[in-house]
Amino acid sequence: MDYTKAIQIAQNIHWVGMYLENDPFQCHPYFIHNGDESILIDPGSMIEFDAVMEKTSQITDLKNIKYIILHHQDPDLCASIPEIEKVIDRDDLKIITHSRMTVLIKHYMITSSYYEIDKNDFKLETNNGFSLKFLTTPYCHSPGAFVTYDPKSKVLFSSDIFGGLEESWEFYAKDDYFSKVKAFHSTYMPSRDIFNHALRKIEQLDINLIAPQHGSIIERRYVYGLIEDMKNLECGLYIDKKYNDELTGTIEKLKAKERELKEYKNHLEEKVKEKTYFLEEANAALQLEQEKLNMFNEYLGELNSVDVGFLANTAIKQILNIAQAQIGVFYINENDKRLKVLAKHSVDPKLLKSGFFNNSSGGIVAQAYKSGEWIYVDGLNEEVAPEIDLGFYRSKLKHIVAIPLKFQEKKIGVVLIGSVSNARFDEDYLKGYINTLVQSLNNAITYVETQKQSIELRDINMQLEEANRLKSEFLANVSHELRTPLNSIIGFSNILQKNKKGNLLPKQLDQLEKINRNGMNLLDLINNILDLSKIESGKMEVEFREIDIVSAVHDTLELLMPQAANGGKKISFTNSLGSGAYKYTTDEQKFKQVIVNIVSNALKFVENGIGKVDVEVFEENEMLKIAVKDNGIGIPEEKFEKIFEAFRQSDGSTTRRFGGTGLGLAISKNMLELLGGYIDLESIVGEGSTFTICLPLNKKQSSILSPDFLNDFKEKLYTLEDITSVLVIDDAKDVRDLIAEYLSDQNYIVYAADNGYDGVEMAKKLKPSLITLDIMMPGMDGWEVLKRLKASNETCDIPVVTITNASNRSKSIYLGAIDSISKPLSKDDLLSFISKYFDTGKAGSALIVDDEEDIRELIQEYIEDDIKNIQSASDGKEALEVIERGFVPDIIYLDLMMPNLSGFEFLKIVETNPKFKNTHIAVVTAKDLTNEDMEILKPSCVSIIKKGGNIEEIIKELAQDAKNGRSK
């Protein structure tokens, strides 16, 4: 036998010990190979450490050991554990032992957690299905000792039991093994009873092999004979006589106690027999009650209905069964007028007319209904008692009961039952059925009434919905019809106010301003009323998309600047969100409308000349907030809620003094709620108010400035005629001369500065039409020059283009430049830039399609200075005839609601024709567009202009963009 290697003793089980010659206490460790949940058994002391680790590693990686079994606490089993823990280095390593031994083996400085067999049902189940059983076998100094059994291989790991003390040992035991081990067990086992207790547990197992901690491995042929021999051993020889006598005496006392317990057990068995009889009687009674309960539960299930007739028929049958009656009638209250027969059992029509069953006011049915009390009629006289047919014979009724059906104070009806015997039933038991019945009846009656009311309410709601639809349709039609003439009034009054021919008197211009202003006010009122109607009817649609909040607020305030300037009022804007583009998902149009409403409201209530409105956008408490603060008249706290109601202001004097309809705040509040937000208000009377728009954060913020955003934000169109001079600021003379030569050919006056200081001063004095600015200059660089130019009132409006590399374009635009040109600079680059940003004088062409002649004339008036070739059509059909003649305009201004061929239909035809791929479409409509309309228009990449209001600027801007080929 080669003891230098691991020796397999069963499938997946190996001896991994060390041969120590003439050492009777040498330990025999064993290893169970079970994947990454392998098990090491009784690894021994540090003497065997190297051999055990070496032999185990021949089988598997040591890190696959998850469990170590310690059958008792002696050092010859446990001393090497701390070192083994270090080698295995596994966080989930567990020590399998008994809880009685953990207090002892902890002194070996073991750090792994314990798997205590007595707290785990004396078994181990690994994740891959392998299992072990544990049997406690306490002896002498090890009260928590145990053995381990593998049911699959039928191997018993027996610890000290079956071990030996021979100085030389054989690997496998022979037939003389008992003679070698009896001395050890006679000495170390405290008593034969304790030892036999352990042996009796073991002999119940089906054992193929015993692997002890000491001694030889025992094969099946010797196992059970060895157990029988060991049962007869005299044990406890190491104990002195006195202690042995005491132990023996204790055992005798325990045996006497066992006899007493047997006698007491017999006594208890007699008592149990006595009690069993009484329990059987009680059980029979319980069974009867259970049958009643089952019947009642079945009854409850049948009452789960809202059909009153079904409930009545079901109840009659159950009540007759419980009362052991033969006939029954169910009367229901009909509209508080009379008691109507709803259900009956075994009752013929003739019997119903008899005195007892008659539901007239004098009978017992009516009496029970009115009084709410049960009425009994017993021992009926043979002469007056009604006779009933029982099928096989006829018999007289002897007992009648009228039972009122009442839920709380609500009277429902009466049940009348009759019996041919005088036997009384269990009234309390029947009342349980009756109470359940009236609850179900009340629910069914209530359901019927509720259904009836629901149908009535549904009809009313349908009428209201139809009325609401008609109202919305009416408002939409009125809005469309009013916006169209208002568009003409506002547009033409704007044109006349310009007094191009100079033939209008100041008084007439003042009158035109009033016409224009009142037209705008009327348009606002129409829009507000329409919005309020949509909100109230739940038809207000929202279209969420990602926008830049800073840009949206800034652009909106820019639109309100002229309104503020007219009254000498000021608007300031503070961005506390940082320098990056602040992305937020919302409905842009409604968000801007809320800003307009609240800022316009603030401007209305501040004094001319000294009034100011401060707008700040910031984050606070996980909310995006836009605060609008004014120094106006303020609002009393008790009026805070009132001002958000439609057509309401703080009081009548406010309306008379400042005007307004009282709709703006109401609409803003409702729109913000649609967007998921709300409005906060703080105000002090006489000092001013702060309205704060609060929206939940959903933003996507970027730390890098978006060039596209800055282009849209800063880009401005300048006319060629305005460019008469150009200031070139560059420290390189060659660059200055080159730009001068490029521009002189175009008849521009060119000035030059070789440093930033002179450039700023020359810009202030000369007021050039355009400045080109180099960034990389000594002294004051281009960035500082740009900041100073834009900070000065004298130069802030002069367009600046920076000459730098492409990576600086975003910064240039952010600091105020209109664009940036990369070096090296060519003549084509420069002239292309001028062509991009300035009107090159191209004639341009436009087609105006609208069924209103005033609108066609108004749009033509707006664009005729920029567009020279203009044609008109009164509907879509006529417009098709125009383009079929070969006319391909740069831009089409298109109304949607027209006879013959609508704008929608015209668009479908035009967008399929490749000739019009570069034609810009601008929809000019008074129609209130729905989300569905927007989806139809989206593929055509159209601009949308709402009729009404001051639309001149946007119509002209679109014409210029289309003429110069910019952004379809």
pLDDT in tens, 201-223: 999 999 999 999 888 899 999 99
Q: Give the three-state DSSP class for 354.
A: coil
Query: Can you give the pLDDT at residue 43?
Result: 92
Query: Can you give the pLDDT at residue 717?
Result: 39
Q: Give the three-state DSSP class for 650.
A: coil
Torsion sign over Cα 249, 254, 258, 264: positive
Query: Can you give the pLDDT at residue 704?
Result: 30
| Residue 254 contacts residue 193 (beta carbons within 8 Å) | no
What are the phi and psi torsion angles at 702 (to 5°)? -115, 140
Query: Can you give the pLDDT at residue 51?
Result: 92
Please check the confidence at residue 941 and state whether its pLDDT lies above 50.
yes
Name the percent of the chain lying above pLDDT 70: 81
Please check the confidence at residue 148 and state whether its pLDDT lies above 80.
yes
| Nearest in space to 110 (alpha carbons), one of 189, 195, 43 | 43
Query: Can you give the pLDDT at residue 62?
Result: 96
Cα 537 to Cα 561: distance, rounded to the nearest angstrom: 34
Query: Can you give the pLDDT at residue 714?
Result: 34
Q: Which residue has the higher pLDDT, 521 or 91?
A: 91
- Under the banding of pLDDT at 50, 70 and 90, the label for residue 108 is confident
| Residue 339 contacts residue 333 (beta carbons within 8 Å) | yes
Q: What is the pLDDT of residues 851-875, one digit of tens each?
A: 888 888 888 888 887 787 888 999 9
Please check the confidence at residue 574 and state whether its pLDDT lies above 70.
yes
Q: Give the three-state DSSP class for 32.
A: strand
Give me the residue label for tokens 């002897």. 398
DSSP letters spanning 319-334 = HHHHHT-SEEEEEEEE
Cα 332 to Cα 72: distance, rounded to the nearest angstrom: 84
The Cα angle at residue 686 between residues 684 and 690, in degrees rounded to 5:
40
C-alpha distances out from residue 543 to 279, 371, 928, Å: 76, 66, 14
Query: Can you give the pLDDT at residue 720?
Result: 40
Residue 297 neighbours by CB distance under 10 Å: 10
Q: What is the pLDDT of residues 891-902, one digit of tens each?
A: 999 998 888 888
| Nearest in space to 83 (alpha carbons), one of 116, 115, 117, 109 | 109
What are the phi and psi torsion angles at 867 (to 5°)? -115, 125
Q: Which two tokens stand for residue 361?
A: 């006011």
**pTM for this one?**
0.36
Q: Which residue has the higher pLDDT, 104 or 700?
A: 104
